[in-house]
């Protein structure tokens, strides 16, 4: 189909597009790209012009049917992104430039690798991507935006954008993820580990029980309004302890509970029959995503149990093959989470800034690659994990 039959629009809110049209382009392993998730961010006020996230989603249409889309925001700061460009902003502004606002294609507050570019499989992907690119190019060239950033796109998405737009700079990062290697059950997973790490995990799980904590899992409709309210209290504490307000509102989580309960799994720790800690997960077709956590009590190893071991066990019991527990944390490595490369793409409108960023990313990429190699050597498996 020729590109002339395609039309581009930029939408200022997810509510301006039918959920069925958007979700028809979203894969089954992508809960964060679903219309319900993105709409909840906006409807709850967590994402808005007032919070520095101004929606301007790029959409490509053919005869009234959505055939391509790219979630996009006009960003007025760099909070909630997890691909840190504060140094770029400071350097550019010291040189007399204006870094903000910028254009960003990402899932707000969600550093989870996955598809970012939605494409109808029966049409010319390059033609649709070219139209989507014209949206951020127009923002940068006519809207006085300094740059465009595509964060946490999967390997296929990054490669496709790079091939079509070689002026984009790639930046590499690292996360830790668990993969099922045919373990069968949690005991099978433990059996694959060295004696030292197997004993460590058994001890950590035992310590949780010895403190009188009972850990349960709730899914879908079993997550009640009261359960979500308690979860949000725990989640908020992780921010308030650092003197910050939570990125996400209670209304956001409550809307998700109502609109996409089948994607939610909540781990709750109870003491004397009362909930004291919670961890909220999302599930796709093949992948479990650990996202939010908080506790009202200080308890040894509870974080490891609620956020790692419960997730691994859930995957093994429910046929999920991958577990993404969230960003950061070398402590994941010794518990069987292998280092995985994550990539982002960056377009800088100013040639000098583009050259500086490209040089930085090249040097940083070499360091990330060396660290990833060293991390593989530190994995606790008896047999080296596949790369």
Rounded Cα distance, 6 and 1, in Å: 9
Residue 112 near residue 289, CB atoms below 8 Å: yes
Task: Please give the share of the chain, as a percent, with pLDDT higher than 90.
Answer: 91
The whole model's pTM is what? 0.95
In a 3-state reduction of DSSP, which class is residue 246? coil
pLDDT (mean) for 335-342:
95
pLDDT class of 282 with cuts at 50, 70, 90:
very high
pLDDT class of 4 with cuts at 50, 70, 90:
low
| In the chain, ranges of CATH 3.40.630.30 domains | 3-173+340-377, 181-320
pLDDT for 215: 98
Which of the pair, 2 or 133, is modelled with greater confidence? 133
Which element (helix H / strand E) includes 215? strand 213-219
Task: Please give the share of the chain, as a percent, with pLDDT higher than 70.
Answer: 98
pLDDT in tens, 243-281: 888 999 999 999 999 999 999 999 999 999 999 999 999
pLDDT for 244: 87
Among candidate residues 105, 47, 33, the one with its CA nearest the CA of residue 249: 47
pLDDT in tens, 357-386: 999 999 999 999 999 999 999 999 998 766
Q: Which residues pair with 75 in a beta bridge?
A: 53, 102
> Residue 327 above 90 pLDDT?
no
- Residue by residue, DSSP assigns 184-212 as -SHHHHHHTB-HHHHHHHHHHHHHHHHTT
pLDDT for 368: 96
CATH architecture of the domain 181-320 equals: 3-Layer(aba) Sandwich (3.40)
pLDDT for 1: 45
pLDDT (mean) for 59-65:
96
Could you please state the CATH topology (level 3) that the domain comprising 3-173+340-377 is classified under.
Aminopeptidase (3.40.630)
> Residue 223 above 90 pLDDT?
yes
> Residue 3 above 60 pLDDT?
no
Q: What is the dihedral of CA 85, 86, 89, 93, to 10 degrees?
A: -170
pLDDT for 342: 96
pLDDT class of 333 with cuts at 50, 70, 90:
very high
> Residue 16 above 50 pLDDT?
yes
pLDDT for 40: 98
């Amino acid at each position: 189909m020729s590109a002339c039959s395609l039309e581009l629009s930029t939408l200022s809110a997810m509510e301006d597009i039918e959920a069925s049209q958007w979700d028809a382009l979203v894969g089954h392993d992508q809960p964060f790209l679903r219309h319900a998730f993105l709409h909840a961010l906006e409807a709850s006020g967590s994402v808005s012009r007032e919070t520095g996230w101004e929606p301007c989603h790029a959409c490509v249409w053919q005869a009234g049917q959505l055939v391509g889309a790219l979630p996009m925001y006009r960003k007025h700061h760099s909070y909630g992104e997890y691909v840190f460009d504060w140094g770029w902003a400071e350097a550019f502004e010291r040189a007399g430039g204006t870094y903000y606002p910028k254009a960003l294609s990402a899932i707000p507050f969600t550093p989870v690798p996955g598809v970012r570019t939605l494409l109808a499989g029966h049409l010319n992907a390059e033609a649709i991507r070219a139209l989507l690119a014209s949206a951020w190019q127009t923002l940068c060239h006519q809207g006085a935006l300094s740059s465009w950033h595509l964060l946490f796109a999967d390997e296929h998405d990054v490669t496709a954008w790079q091939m079509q737009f070689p002026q984009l700079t790639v930046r590499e990062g690292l996360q830790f993820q668990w993969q099922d290697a045919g373990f069968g059950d949690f005991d099978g997973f433990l059996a694959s580990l060295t004696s030292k790490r197997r004993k460590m995990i058994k001890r950590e799980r035992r310590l949780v029980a010895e403190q009188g904590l009972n850990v349960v899992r709730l899914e879908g409709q079993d997550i009640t309004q009261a359960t979500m309210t308690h979860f949000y209290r725990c989640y908020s504490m992780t921010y308030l302890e650092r003197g910050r307000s939570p990125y996400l509102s209670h209304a956001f989580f409550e809307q998700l509970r109502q609109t996409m309960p089948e994607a939610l799994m909540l781990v709750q720790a109870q003491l004397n029959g009362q909930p004291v800690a919670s961890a909220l997960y999302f599930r796709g077709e093949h992948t479990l995503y650990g996202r939010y956590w908080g506790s009202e009590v200080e308890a040894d190893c509870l974080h490891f149990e609620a956020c790692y071991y419960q997730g691994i066990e859930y995957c093994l019991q429910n046929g999920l093959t991958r577990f993404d527990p969230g960003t950061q944390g070398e402590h994941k490595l010794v518990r069987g989470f292998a280092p995985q490369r994550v990539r982002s793409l960056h377009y800088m409108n100013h040639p000098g800034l583009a050259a500086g960023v490209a040089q930085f990313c090249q040097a940083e990429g070499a360091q990330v690659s060396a660290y990833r190699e060293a991390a593989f050597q530190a994995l606790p498996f008896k047999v080296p994990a596949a790369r």
